[in-house]
Structure 1
Amino acid sequence: MLDKVQIDKILEIWNTYDSSSKIVKDTKGNPIDDIDKLRRDCFPELTGYIESFYKNKITIGEFKTLIDSFNKRNNYWGFTATKGQMFFNQLVKASNESEITKLLQKLLTVPDDIKVAAEKINELETYCNKYFLKANDKRKVPNPRSSCYFLSYFWQIFDHNKWPIMYTSLVEAFTEIGIWSEFESQSSTYEYFYKLNDNIILTIQTATGKTISYWDLEHAFWDFYDNRTKKILGKEKDDRADKESRSVISVNFDINDYIIPKISKLIELGEDDSKTAAKKGYEFEKVVAEVFKQLDFDTEILGQGTGRNPDVIAKIREENTAFLIDAKAYSKGYSLGLDDRAISEYINTHCPKLVKDGYKKIGFIIVSNSFRTDFDEFINEVTWNTEIKRFILITSEALLYLLAYRTKDKLGLQEIINCLVSLGNPITSDKIISNFEDV
Structure 2
Amino acid sequence: MLKALAACRTSALGRPSSSAATRFPFLPAGLCDLADLARGVRNGTESVPYRAADGEKPISCLFETRCADAFRCLGFTVRELGQGCGRVADCLALAPADRFGVILDAKVRREGYTLGTDDRQFCDYATRHSRELAPSGIDRVYFAVIGSGFRQHDLENLAQYMAAEPIRSVCFLETHALMRLVNDSIHQRDTFRLSEIDRLLFGNKIIVA
Q: TM-score, normalised by structure 2?
A: 0.79
Q: In structure 2, what residue type is equivalent to 1:274?
A: S
Of 99, 103, 106, 1:324 maps to 103
Q: Secondary structure at the match of 2:172?
A: strand
Q: Choose from 232, 249, 262 the match for 2:30.
A: 262
For residue 292 of structure 1, give the secondary structure of its aligned residue in structure 2: helix
Task: Quote the residue 2:173 is aligned against.
Answer: 394
Counting aligned pairs with the same residue, the percent is 25
**CA spacing shift, 1:320–1:342, aligned 2, 3 Å:** same
* Separation in structure 1 between the aligned mates of residue 200 and residue 184 of structure 2, nearest angstrom: 11
8 Å CA contact 2:34–2:66 kept in 1: the answer is yes
Q: Which has the higher helix share?
A: 1
Shift of 1:255: 3.6
| Aligned residue runs from structure 1 range 334-345, under 5 A | 334-345=113-124
1:403 correspondence with 2:171:
no
Matches within 5 A, 1:142-291: 244=15, 254-271=22-39, 272=41, 273-277=46-50, 279-291=58-70
Deviation at 1:380, TM superposition (A): 2.5
Report the Cα offset of residue 276 of structure 1.
4.2
Structure number with higher relative contact order (C-alpha < 8 Å, ≥ 6 residues apart) = 2
Give the distance between the partners of 1:377 and 1:276, measured in 2 at CA: 25
Task: Output the CA distance in 2 between the equivalents of 1:414 and 1:299.
Answer: 16
Distance 1:346 1:321 in 2: 16
SS of equivalent to 2:206: coil
User: Are 1:375 and 2:143 counterparts?
Assistant: no
Whether the 8 Å contact between 2:64 and 2:90 is mirrored in structure 1 is: yes
Q: How has the CA–CA distance of structure 1 residues 291 and 342 changed in structure 2, closer, same or farther, with 3 Å as cutoff? A: same
In 1, are the aligned partners of 2:14 and 2:111 still within 8 Å (CA)? no
- Equivalent residue for 1:310, pick from 75, 85, 89: 89
User: Normalized against structure 1, the TM-score is what?
Assistant: 0.39
Q: Is the 8 A contact 2:17 2:35 kept in 1?
A: no
2:193 paired with 1:412: yes
Which segments of 5 or more consecutive residues in structure 1 lack a partner in the other structure? 1-77, 82-239, 248-252, 430-439
Corresponding residue for 2:125?
Answer: 346
Tell me the CA shift for residue 421 of structure 1.
2.4
| Deviation of the 1:352 alpha carbon | 1.0
Letter in 2 for 1:310: A
Letter in 2 for 1:350: H
2:54 counterpart residue number = none
Compared CA separation, residues 381 and 265, structure 1 to 2 (3 A): same
Secondary structure of 1:405's counterpart equals helix
Distance in 2 of aligned mates of 1:304 and 1:243: 23
* Alignment RMSD: 2.6
How many angstroms apart in 1 are the aligned matches of 2:115 and 2:12?
20
**CA separation in 1, counterparts of 2:91 and 2:13?**
30
Could you tell me how far 1:262 is from its partner in structure 2?
1.1
**1 CA distance for matches of 2:13 and 2:101?**
34
In structure 2, give the amino acid aligned to 1:364: F
2-structure distance, mates of 1:276, 1:336: 17
What is the aligned partner in structure 2 of residue 361 from structure 1?
140
Show structure 2 runs of 5+ residues with no match.
5-10, 52-57
Higher share of residues assigned strand = 2
Q: What amino acid is the match of 2:50?
A: A
